[in-house]
A and B are shown apart, each in its own frame.
Chain A
């Protein structure tokens, strides 16, 4: 994909985040979409491309009154929206549509108008994992952690620091769900969920949504806000079964998506001013730093524990507070993208001064899928 040919011209989250018991899931989509259209100065009739996950594109297009010429229903978990951005950029460049709306929303806490997640008893996961007591993401996502720790010499304290540092970012963000400072001891004494992870190393469960609007770079300059250009993109999938990953020392999906985006962008790691790595659980930033090639895996834990990713550090990471402290409605990738866009617009609550390049890396399922988007505010 060519660099900087497509831009984000509208971006917004739902009016409220957290616990929203008075809104169904599809209305959360609409709330985010209407906010994003207002941000871009557009009406539903201006949109000709729709991408969404879990809910179908026809559901969203009909509810919002949109007649699309292009849709994308890619639904590979929480990074689906990174893949939507990539696919939308390609579609806009190919002339399949001009103005794409990407929506996410999930009534993850209140469960209004939302189907419970489940898998079939005759799927491979249903046959070869479910009988052993997997039951929700906390029982599955941390399964690789002990192997990763042993191979790379990562400590429990370093994995606790991930949560501590992200809470420091969240404290700067009025919309963050959890803002009170925490210590390593707080993390290591919080309730055990799935050893080795405790409550404060697991993501929040909240309600909310977000939406993005994309168009060609040529048109982007006529919109109300500073365009945020798509500089590079990558995607991949590995397996829906965490037990069947090629290795627990890294993520194959991350190692394909991340470096693909860097190659496409034509940048090196030292060019990155701002970084988002989807943190459903505390180990993901370590996998991400290693798999995206920022540093050898054995240095990732120390890098975070030494404060390099905290406010004022040399590599600001998860500056909204992340899935651990900002919000996590179930498919957090959209909120990571929103924070990258805010940072590139220069309007983030914890703004990184003069940030010009933002890398936004997402995960879907339990390392099942991955998408990486690199944004810039300079064309």
Chain B
């Protein structure tokens, strides 16, 4: 029997650009053309001022570690060891959930406010997940 798989996102029309971006190696956010507010998760209007005039842009991929847990039990399907579920504060302002790759999953290694950078985890041909890892340099 195959290993139970990690939960997969089911893409909706309003989020297609985000997931296409991940596959192309870009973290895509949206910004309001009227009030300049950058936001996440995706939606075709500005959650701050209600304007439908919004644009997709490529984020810098830089962020910092805002908070996290190290989940020990129960482990979600597709995870075999304790893993950090983190919230990353992006340079552009929005926050998003991520795992922290290429880093020991320990309180000592995971320091709040540490610098992170985006990386892209290929789950399979159809799904690439934006992820974060400690910033290099």
Interface residues of A (CB under 8 A from B): 120-122, 124, 126-136, 138-140, 142-147, 150, 191-197, 241-244, 248
What is the minimal beta-carbon distance from A31 to any residue of chain B, in angstroms? 30
List 20 extra interface pairs beyond A135-B74, A192-B70, CB under 8 A.
Answer: A121-B10, A122-B12, A127-B10, A127-B12, A131-B8, A133-B7, A136-B74, A139-B76, A143-B68, A143-B87, A144-B67, A146-B68, A147-B67, A150-B112, A194-B85, A195-B70, A195-B82, A241-B41, A243-B96, A248-B67
Chain B residues near A144 (CB-CB < 8 A): 67
Contact A143 B85 (CB under 8 A): yes
Q: Which of A120, A135, A146 contacts B76 (CB 8 A)?
A: A135
Please name the residue on chain A nearest to B14 by beta carbon: A124
What is the minimal beta-carbon distance from B36 to any residue of chain A, in angstroms? 18
Contact A133 B79 (CB under 8 A): yes
Chain A residues near B99 (CB-CB < 8 A): 132-133
Question: Number of B residues whose C-beta is below 8 Å from A?
Answer: 37
What's the Cα separation between A121 and B96 when bound, in Å?
Answer: 17
Chain A residues near B74 (CB-CB < 8 A): 135-136
Contact A194 B71 (CB under 8 A): yes
What is the minimal beta-carbon distance from A352 to any residue of chain B, in angstroms? 35
Q: Which of A129, A147, A193, A194 contacts B112 (CB 8 A)?
A: A147
Chain A residues near B12 (CB-CB < 8 A): 122, 127
Contact count A vs B, C-beta below 8 Å: 114
Within 8 A of A (CB), among B62-94: 66-79, 82-83, 85-87
What's the Cα separation between A90 and B73 when bound, in Å?
Answer: 43
Interface residues of B (CB under 8 A from A): 6-12, 15, 40-41, 66-79, 82-83, 85-87, 95-99, 107, 112, 129
Contact A243 B10 (CB under 8 A): no
What's the Cα separation between A120 and B71 when bound, in Å?
Answer: 22
Q: Which of A120, A135, A248 contacts B75 (CB 8 A)?
A: A135
Contact A193 B73 (CB under 8 A): yes
What's the Cα separation between A26 and B72 when bound, in Å?
Answer: 33
Contact A121 B7 (CB under 8 A): yes
Contact B97 A243 (CB under 8 A): yes
Known: A143-B67, A195-B107. A131 touches B129 (CB 8 A): yes
What is the minimal beta-carbon distance from A377 to any residue of chain B, in angstroms? 41
What's the Cα separation between A150 and B66 when bound, in Å?
Answer: 10
Contact A147 B66 (CB under 8 A): yes
Contact B69 A197 (CB under 8 A): yes
Question: What are 12 A-B residue pairs whose CB atoms fall within 8 Å in the complex?
Answer: A122-B9, A126-B7, A127-B15, A127-B41, A128-B9, A131-B129, A133-B76, A138-B71, A146-B112, A194-B85, A244-B95, A248-B66
What's the Cα separation between A134 and B85 when bound, in Å?
Answer: 7
Chain A residues near B40 (CB-CB < 8 A): 128
Chain A residues near B72 (CB-CB < 8 A): 191-195
What's the Cα separation between A248 and B6 when bound, in Å?
Answer: 27
Please name the residue on chain A nearest to B7 by beta carbon: A130
What's the Cα separation between A150 and B68 when bound, in Å?
Answer: 12
Please name the residue on chain B nearest to A136 by beta carbon: B74
Contact A129 B68 (CB under 8 A): no
What's the Cα separation between A139 and B86 when bound, in Å?
Answer: 10
Please name the residue on chain B nearest to A194 by beta carbon: B69
What is the minimal beta-carbon distance from A106 to any residue of chain B, in angstroms? 19
Chain B residues near A147 (CB-CB < 8 A): 66-67, 112
What is the minimal beta-carbon distance from B33 to any residue of chain A, in angstroms? 22
Q: Which of A126, A192, A194 contacts B9 (CB 8 A)?
A: A126
Q: Which of B11, B82, B86, B87 contacts A127 (CB 8 A)?
A: B11
Chain B residues near A150 (CB-CB < 8 A): 112
Contact A134 B76 (CB under 8 A): yes
What is the minimal beta-carbon distance from A369 to any residue of chain B, in angstroms? 18
Known: A127-B41, A244-B95. A194 touches B10 (CB 8 A): no
Chain A residues near B79 (CB-CB < 8 A): 133
Known: A146-B68, A193-B73, A248-B66. A128 touches B107 (CB 8 A): no
